[in-house]
Amino acid sequence: DAKTTQPPSMDCAEGRAANLPCNHSTISGNEYVYWYRQIHSQGPQYIIHGLKNNETNEMASLIITEDRKSSTLILPHATLRDTAVYYCIVRPFSGTSYGKLTFGQGTILTVHP
């Protein structure tokens, strides 16, 4: 499975957009990009996923570069409750079923007042 590289930590001011980068230069054509976040001592929370098109939902936007070698998760208006570890993961799809999620170290996002 393709690996991802994320900065270990980032800071963001409350109310500003948080842009979290992820590098997945060895991604295969059948692998999706997933983003999760984990707040201390809780299970990971699904944020968004995509294959090659940009995606948006009520939580965030996912921007995937045209060559699919990197992506950015955008939290448009960060709040203090968005402080968490954010994981970027690539997940294979066989055509009929999705494969496993393998977590890396993630990015610790700290939103400050």
Partner 1 sequence: GAVVSQHPSWVICKSGTSVKIECRSLDFQATTMFWYRQFPKQSLMLMATSNEGSKATYEQGVEKDKFLINHASLTLSTLTVTSAHPEDSSFYICSASYDTGELFFGEGSRLTVL
CA distances to 15, 54, 76, 93, 105 from 8, in Å: 22, 24, 21, 27, 7
Q: Does 113 participate in binding partner 1 (rule CB under 8 A)?
A: no
Out of 106, 107, 109, 111, the only residue in the binding site for partner 1 (CB under 8 A) is 106
Burial class (CB in 10 A: 0-12, 13-18, 19+), 4: buried
Summary count for the chain: helices (H), strands (E):
0, 9
7-66 positions binding partner 1, by CB under 8 A: 32, 34, 36, 38, 41-46, 49
- Going by DSSP bridges, is the β-strand pair 84-92/107-112 parallel, antiparallel, or unpaired? antiparallel
Nearer to partner 1, 32 or 74 (CB): 32
106 neighbors 87 (Cβ within 8 angstroms): yes
Q: Could you tell me the smallest distance in angstroms from the CB atom of residue 31 to partner 1?
A: 12
Segment contacting partner 1 (CB under 8 A): 10-18, 19-27, 73-81, 104-112?
104-112
Residue 102 binding partner 1, by CB under 8 A? yes
- Interface residues with partner 1 (CB under 8 A) are 32, 34, 36, 38, 41-46, 49, 87, 91, 93, 97-98, 100-106
